[in-house]
């Protein structure tokens, strides 16, 4: 069907798209949507009768339509089920009567990722290859930098349209830009990670949860919908894609690294759903009471799956809502939706999300004013890394992260704040905290990590507190404060126990 004319009537919240001989009015329920460059949605709207909310889609490069296979360059959302980027790719391919393929680029050095994270990711991708094959969608595992490999792939197979999933991190933004500059086809970006697309939730950096929450809540009904089912793709990809030698790839990624894989948590989409169901059945009821006690197993443990996109936050929220019984579900959804999506908001709108310069003005001012305060202890990166501080509680948290690949959420705050207290400057503190977090946490290199560290060290999304040495007006946490909240000795003993 030829695309003839388009017109936007912003005043009436109506996006008017005329496709000869039909005239279609698409009503944007979300006012925010109109603030975003609405014309960027036009090509996406060409998919007449789309089963999804197209506000989840942006166009990174607008180009002439080319007939050819559709490619989803998968990056942050490594799953088959409940994946808006994959669903959108399929819609586009079906409209073009084209085959569909999924491509992933494995990079040898990714932001300090180690064996631990590669092992988790590659096992998940191996399962994903099989699930995609059941849907007639071949999976290519490329090795190398996406900015080089994706344009090569697009040219080699005369691809008609390219789709990717959304990440607010600088590295992905840079890859997208280089790829857009080096291809001649339309390039779409779909926010498959957030429930409310990051650019719709807010058009600016938010001050805190208190300003972000009402914005999210205003549009949540519109976006917290169930997913359409991914179809078995009817148009076959004819190219011979060869076999992926998973063992060889794993071996090449896993060499020369001293950080070991972890065994207590298994990777993959199926396992992610099992962990979610176990949480809902056995822990959700008491989440409110237990989540901040590191001696109890009161958190969901879902963050590694969310980080690698092996489970959708939207699916998680929908399932938790089906079991909404007491105040616990609200507390969980506050973390899963408001806090998590606020992290994406911060990283999307603040390119200094991992630096001192990204802290709010009041925090930089107060930290600078206290930069020369004498520190009772100053540790080097090596001393921190080897858990050789004077504080047995801090050391236990560091050991928990090193051994288990997941520090308890409450301890993460204490851990980062003490790094501020025991380093020569806040700049050094943020550098050390990010280095250790990204090296050992299974869920590291995530907007949640950068924001959690910036909250602890730099007052991001927090307010000014009573002034004190070194911290200035940044919120303080103490050993005695922890003692009043949970059994510190029990936590220290627990960390020493074998991991099950
Ligand atoms: C210094 C510091 C570093 C952190 N580093 C990371 C990190 O690298 N990766 C990461 O995913 N999270 C990080 N967090 C946030 C939080 O601690 C973890 O998301 C949480 O502990 C993960 O465990 P869970 O999935 O069992 O959490 P649950 O309590 O079961 O929460 C469910 C989900 O809600 C979200 N959530 C929970 N707490 C927060 C929070 N404070 N901010 C944003 N989202 C939240 C997460 O997606 C989490 O998976 C960090 C926090 C701090 C203070």
pLDDT value at 1 more than 60: no
Query: Distance between CA 97 and CA 83 in Å, rounded?
Result: 21
How confident is the model at residue 22, as a pLDDT? 37
Q: Is the pLDDT of residue 39 over 70?
A: no
Instruction: Tell me what pLDDT residue 271 has.
Output: 98
List the one residue out of 312, 310, 317 whose CA is nearest residue 333. Answer: 317
Q: Is 296 in the pocket of ligand 1 (CB under 6 A)?
A: no
For residue 336 and ligand 1, the question of a CB distance below 6 A is answered with yes
What contacts 396, CB < 8 A, 6 or more positions away? 387, 411, 491, 492, 495, 496
What is the percent of the chain with per-residue pLDDT over 90, rounded to a whole number?
80
Give me the residue spans of the domains in the chain. Answer: 42-246, 269-348, 352-496
The arithmetic mean of pLDDT across residues 240-262, rounded, is 82
Is the CB of residue 341 less than 8 Å from the CB of residue 302?
no
Q: Which atom of ligand 1 is nearest to the CA of 413?
A: 53
SS3 label, residue 299: coil
Q: Are 328 and 348 in contact (CB under 8 A)?
A: no
Note the pLDDT tens digit of each residue in 284-302.
999 999 999 999 999 999 9
Residue 320 has pLDDT above 50, yes or no: yes
Written in H, E and C, the secondary structure of 197-254 is CHHHHCCCCCCCHHHHHHHHHHHHHHHCCCCCCCCCCCCCCCCCCCCCCHHHHHHHHH
Count Cα neighbours of 481 within 13 Å in the Cβ-side half-sphere: 10
Residue 408 CA, closest ligand 1 atom number: 21
- Res. 24: pLDDT tops 50: no
Measure the CA–CA gap between 118 and 405, rounded to whole angstroms.
13
Residue closest by Cα to atom 42 of ligand 1: 339
For position 258, what pLDDT does the model report?
Answer: 73
Tell me the CATH class for 352-496.
mainly alpha
The reported pLDDT for the residue numbered 25 is 38
User: Does the pLDDT at position 44 exceed 70?
Assistant: no
Give the model's confidence band at 252: pLDDT under 50 very low, under 70 low, under 90 confident, else very high: confident
User: Buried b vs exposed e over 151-188: b needs ≥16 C-beta within 10 Å?
Assistant: bebbeebebbbbbbbbbbbeebbebbebbbeebebbbb
Lowest mean per-residue pLDDT among 188-197, 251-260, 297-306: 251-260
More confident residue, 182 or 45: 182
The first and second tokens of residue 50, run together, are 């789309």
Confirm or reject: Cβ of 335 under 6 Å from ligand 1.
yes
Question: How far apart are alpha carbons 254 and 251 in whole angstroms?
Answer: 5
Q: Which CATH class is domain 269-348?
A: mainly alpha
Which ligand 1 atom sits closest to the C-alpha of 301?
A: 26
Angle, alpha carbons 62-101-237 (nearest 5°): 115
Ligand 1, atom 17, lies closest to the CA of: 409
| Three-class secondary structure of residue 43 per DSSP | helix
**Which residue's CA lies nearest to atom 40 of ligand 1?**
339
Asked if pLDDT for residue 359 goes beyond 90, the answer is yes
User: Given this model, what pLDDT does residue 8 score?
Assistant: 33
Q: Give me the phi and psi of 19, to 5 degrees please.
A: -115, 110
Gap from CA of 336 to ligand 1 centroid (Å): 8
The mean pLDDT value of the chain amounts to 90
The rounded Å distance from CA 303 to ligand 1 centre is 6
* Domain 42-246: homologous superfamily in CATH: HUPs (3.40.50.620)
Per-residue buried b or exposed e for 268-303, using 16+ beta carbons within 10 Å of the residue's own CB? bbebbbebbeebbeebbeebbebbbbbbbebbbbbb
């Amino acid at each position: 069907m030829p695309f003839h004319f388009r017109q936007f009537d912003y005043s009436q919240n109506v996006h008017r798209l005329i496709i000869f001989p039909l005239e279609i009015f698409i009503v944007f329920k979300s006012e925010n949507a109109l603030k975003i460059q609405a014309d960027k949605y036009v090509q996406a709207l060409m998919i007449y009768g789309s089963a999804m909310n197209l506000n989840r889609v942006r166009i990174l490069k607008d180009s002439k339509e080319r007939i050819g296979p559709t490619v989803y360059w998968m990056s942050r959302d490594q799953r088959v089920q409940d994946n808006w980027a994959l669903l959108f790719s399929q819609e586009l391919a079906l409209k073009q009567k084209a085959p569909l393929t999924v491509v992933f680029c494995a990079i040898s050095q990714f932001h300090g990722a180690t064996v631990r994270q590669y092992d988790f990711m590659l096992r998940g991708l191996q399962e994903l290859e099989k699930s995609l094959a059941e849907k007639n969608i071949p999976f290519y595992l490329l090795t190398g930098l996406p900015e080089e490999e994706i344009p090569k792939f697009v040219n080699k197979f005369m691809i008609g349209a390219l789709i990717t999933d959304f990440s607010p991190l600088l590295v992905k933004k840079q890859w997208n830009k280089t790829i857009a500059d080096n291809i001649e086809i339309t390039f779409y970006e779909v926010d498959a990670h957030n429930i409310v697309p990051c650019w719709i939730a807010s058009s600016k950096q938010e001050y805190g949860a208190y300003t972000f929450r009402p914005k999210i809540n205003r549009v949540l009904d519109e976006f917290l919908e169930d997913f359409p089912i991914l179809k078995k793709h009817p148009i076959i990809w004819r190219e011979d894609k060869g076999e992926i030698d998973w063992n060889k790839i794993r071996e090449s990624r896993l060499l020369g690294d001293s950080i070991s894989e972890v065994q207590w948590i298994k990777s993959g989409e199926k396992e992610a759903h099992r962990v979610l169901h176990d949480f809902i059945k056995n822990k959700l009821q008491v989440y409110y009471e237990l989540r901040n006690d590191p001696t109890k197993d009161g958190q969901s443990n879902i963050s590694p799956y969310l980080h690698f996109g092996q489970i959708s936050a939207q699916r998680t929220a929908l399932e938790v809502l089906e079991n909404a019984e007491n105040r616990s579900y609200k507390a969980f959804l506050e973390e899963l939706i408001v806090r998590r999506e606020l992290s994406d908001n911060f990283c999307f709108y603040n390119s200094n999300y991992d630096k001192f310069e990204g802290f709010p003005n009041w925090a930089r001012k107060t930290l600078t004013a206290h930069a020369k305060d004498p520190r009772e202890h100053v540790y080097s990166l090596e001393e921190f890394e080897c858990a050789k501080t004077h504080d047995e509680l801090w050391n236990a948290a560091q050991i928990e992260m090193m051994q288990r690949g997941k520090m308890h959420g409450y301890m993460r705050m204490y851990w980062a704040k003490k790094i501020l207290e025991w380093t020569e400057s806040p700049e050094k503190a943020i550098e050390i905290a990010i280095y250790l977090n990204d090296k050992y946490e299974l869920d590291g290199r995530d907007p949640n990590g950068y924001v959690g560290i910036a909250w602890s060290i730099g007052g991001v999304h927090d307010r000014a507190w009573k002034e004190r040495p070194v911290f200035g007006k940044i919120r303080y946490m103490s050993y005695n404060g922890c003692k009043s909240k949970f059994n510190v000795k029990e936590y220290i003993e627990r960390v020493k126990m074998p991991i099950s």
